[in-house]
């Protein structure tokens, strides 16, 4: 196996006295898809926000493609430019059209000429099926369309890995699949992905491994089939029985 794309080693994080991540360790290989699940408040979102340095952590080490995230000397904007991130609430820029949302970072961070950045943005919007909505503003798009624009925005930086923070939990049920379909497509193309989600159908279909967290601790980190067939911990069994019966 090649060197892992992302390694998380013994990471601890505190909000004041609150210990939100406890000695978390895992690895993600190039092209691997890892789903992080667990009850709310278990630290899943915080963990992936540590991977691109949006959240600082106090102990441990996170390496992304050989770059140490926690190192003071690391140029975080440069590192983040190589890692795509998709948020639960989309966080599209409301004062820009869909096209400009996707175009901004390639132009301002990579320094592409305006026309080239726009062409790239248009190609990505086409890829997520939204070419005809390019000139619309976020408020004119449905939740599912907005999240697909957000995925295009992340892809526009040609990332080496993608982080998804509950990308479908703010969506109406009928549009969840249009977002999951895009993500399945990405996985099929070999994108390295860490996905925080409760969509267990997606996890079974796409994930190579499942990381199960509770109370800031990684309780299980196992291949997908093994995790679903025989959860090793009582906590994971309870969690699965609750969300799979519905």
CA distance 150 to 11: 28
Cβ proximity of 88 and 169 under 8 Å: yes
Query: Nearest distance from residue 201's CB to another protein, in Å?
Result: 27
- How many residues of this chain bind another protein (CB under 8 A)? 30
Interface characters, 99-118, with another protein (x: CB under 8 A): -----xx--xx---------
Q: Which of 6, 8, 64, 85 binds another protein (CB under 8 A)?
A: 85
Contacts of 201 (CB under 8 A, 6+ apart): none
Which is it for strands 6-15 and 217-223: parallel, antiparallel or unpaired?
unpaired
* 55 or 208: CB nearest another protein: 55
Cβ proximity of 171 and 160 under 8 Å: no
* 5 or 219: CB nearest another protein: 5
At residue 5, the 3 state secondary structure works out as coil
Query: Nearest distance from residue 150's CB to another protein, in Å?
Result: 8
Q: Which of 24, 37, 83, 117 binds another protein (CB under 8 A)?
A: 83
Q: Convert 53-92 into a string of H (helix), E (strand) and C (coil).
A: CCCCCCEEEEEECCEECCCCCCCHHHHHCCEEEECCCCCC
* 43 or 84: CB nearest another protein: 84
Query: Nearest distance from residue 227's CB to another protein, in Å?
Result: 28
Interface characters, 140-169, with another protein (x: CB under 8 A): ----------x--xx-xx------------
CA distance 166 to 41: 13
Render the burial of 109-118: b for 16+ CB within 10 Å, e for the rest.
eeebeeeebb
* 158 or 172: CB nearest another protein: 158
The contact set with another protein (CB under 8 A) reads 49, 52, 54, 76-78, 80-85, 87, 89, 91-95, 104-105, 108-109, 137, 139, 150, 153-154, 156-157
């Amino acid at each position: 196996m090649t060197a892992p794309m992302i390694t998380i080693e013994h990471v601890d994080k505190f909000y004041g006295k609150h210990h939100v991540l406890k000695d978390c360790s895992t690895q993600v290989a190039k092209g691997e898809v890892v789903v992080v699940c667990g009850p709310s408040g278990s630290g899943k979102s915080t963990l992936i926000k540590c991977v691109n340095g949006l959240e600082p952590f106090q102990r441990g080490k996170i390496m992304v493609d050989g770059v140490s995230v926690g190192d003071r000397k690391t140029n975080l904007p440069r590192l983040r430019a190589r890692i795509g991130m998709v948020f639960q609430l989309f966080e599209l820029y409301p004062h820009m059209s869909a096209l400009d949302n996707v175009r901004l970072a390639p132009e301002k961070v990579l320094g592409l000429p305006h026309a080239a950045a726009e062409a790239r943005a248009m190609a990505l919007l086409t890829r997520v099926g939204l070419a005809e909505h390019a000139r619309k503003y976020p408020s004119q798009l449905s939740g599912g369309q907005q999240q697909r624009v957000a995925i295009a925005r992340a892809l526009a930086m040609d990332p080496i890995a993608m982080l998804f923070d509950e990308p479908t939990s703010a969506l109406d049920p009928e549009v969840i699949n249009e977002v999951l379909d895009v993500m399945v497509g990405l996985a099929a193309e070999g994108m390295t992905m860490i996905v925080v989600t409760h969509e267990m159908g997606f996890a079974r279909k796409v994930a190579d491994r499942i990381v199960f967290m509770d109370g800031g601790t990684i309780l299980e980190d196992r291949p997908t089939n093994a995790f679903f067939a025989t959860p090793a911990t009582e906590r994971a069994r309870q969690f699965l029985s609750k969300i799979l019966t519905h």
